Each structure stands twice: as structure tokens, then as C-alpha cells.
């Protein structure tokens, strides 16, 4: 799943895809209706690719949380974001059992559920979208080999006899 160009804009409902950058802002496209619009540089934009959820151990990227939800819901839509706070907390503990209950607010869970349902409706939540990205992140034997190779030894200073003669840069003046 490509979250790198999917954004949320403060004050605008839904999710958008960045289409192009202009001198004064951006061209965006609603991921469900595919309507294009302009936004200014001053708009508060959040890239979904840069968002993480707090757990007690670390921060989990939003992509991984979406993957957990997709597996739980069999890649279909999930509960409504307008569900009660208790239902949302129960849902979150099923999807990400070690989420930090003090730092992940009810509003965060609502946004997570709403964004997941929007992405599912727009066709972004598919098994192949998650497996393709996981395959890219897995290390291949060639990548391991490159990591284990030692850097070449530093070249030693050549002696004057080994150095090639310098070319003269002075121009000959003919009389």
C-alpha cells in the first residue's frame, strides 16, 4: 500500500492524494471522489506515511496498524468511527494489544478507524498491497553480502617516482 502520497488536511474531511506541487501550494485529489483541488502552502498537511501509534515499547507505523486491522477484518471495512469510546478502546486493544492507553487518545482511534474505512472504500486495503511492501522490506542475500563486505583499504601516498609527470599549463609565447 502506498501511503507516501496520501495526506490528511486539517479542516477538510477525508483523505487526499498529492498530485503535483505548485509554486503557491499543491494539487490534491480526493481518494474516493477523485475530484481535484488546490490547497495553499499554509494548509496543515499530515502525510499518513509519517504517522505512528504509540505502544509501550516503541512507535508502530500507521501502515503496520492498518495491516493488523486488515488481517482482523479480513481486508474489509471495520467498526464505525462514531462508535462509543469503550467500543473503540476494545477494538484498539484487539488490533494493537500493547498500545499506550495513556498516549493514544479516543480521538486518535476515531481517526485511525475513519482513515482505514476510507482507504478500504477507495481500494487501498488489499492483501497484495501489504505483501508487496513486506517483500520489498525483506533483505535479500545480496543485500546481506553488500553489508558484510569490507571497505577497500585506503590508498597510500605514492612516491615521487611513481607519480606521473605533471603537464605544464603555461602557454608558449611565440615571438
pLDDT digits (tens, 9 = 90+) for 21-37: 999 999 999 999 999 99
CATH 2.30.30 fits 6-48, yes or no: yes
pLDDT of residue 166: 52
- Buried-state track 118-133, b at ≥16 Cβ within 10 A, e below 16: bbbebebbeeebbeee
pLDDT more than 90, % of the chain:
53
Which of these CATH numbers, 3.40.50.11540, 3.40.50.10860, 1.10.10.1650, 1.10.760.10, describes 50-129?
1.10.10.1650
Tens of pLDDT, residues 59-93: 999 989 999 999 999 888 888 999 998 999 999 99
Q: Report how far residue 78's alpha carbon sits from residue 101's, in angstroms, rounded to the nearest whole number.
A: 20
Question: Could you tell me where in the chain the CATH 1.10.10.1650 domains are found?
Answer: 50-129
Question: Locate cell 490528511: which residue?
Answer: 8
| Closest CA relative to residue 69, chosen from 129, 125, 5 | 125
In the numeric block, which cell numbers belong to residue 155?
590508498
- Output the average pLDDT for the chain: 79
pLDDT value at position 4? 76
Distance CA 59, CA 90 (A): 20
Residues of the chain with CATH 2.30.30: 6-48
Amino acid at each position: 500500500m502506498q501511503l507516501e502520497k496520501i495526506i490528511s488536511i486539517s479542516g477538510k474531511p477525508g483523505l487526499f492524494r498529492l498530485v503535483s506541487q505548485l509554486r503557491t501550494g499543491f494539487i490534491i485529489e480526493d481518494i474516493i471522489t477523485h475530484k481535484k483541488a488546490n490547497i495553499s502552502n499554509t494548509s496543515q498537511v499530515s502525510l499518513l506515511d509519517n504517522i505512528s501509534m504509540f505502544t509501550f515499547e516503541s512507535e508502530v507505523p500507521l501502515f503496520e496498524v492498518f495491516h493488523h486491522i486488515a488481517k482482523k477484518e479480513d481486508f474489509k471495512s471495520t467498526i464505525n468511527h462514531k462508535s462509543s469510546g469503550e467500543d473503540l478502546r476494545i477494538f484498539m486493544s484487539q488490533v494493537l494489544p500493547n498500545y499506550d492507553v495513556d498516549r493514544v487518545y479516543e480521538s486518535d482511534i476515531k481517526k485511525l478507524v475513519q482513515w482505514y474505512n476510507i482507504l478500504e472504500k477507495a481500494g487501498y486495503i488489499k492483501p497484495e498491497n501489504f505483501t508487496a511492501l513486506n517483500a520489498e522490506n525483506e533483505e535479500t542475500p545480496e543485500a546481506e553480502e553488500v553489508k558484510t563486505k569490507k571497505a577497500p583499504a585506503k590508498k597510500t601516498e605514492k612516491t615521487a617516482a611513481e607519480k606521473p609527470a605533471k603537464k605544464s599549463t603555461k602557454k608558449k609565447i611565440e615571438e
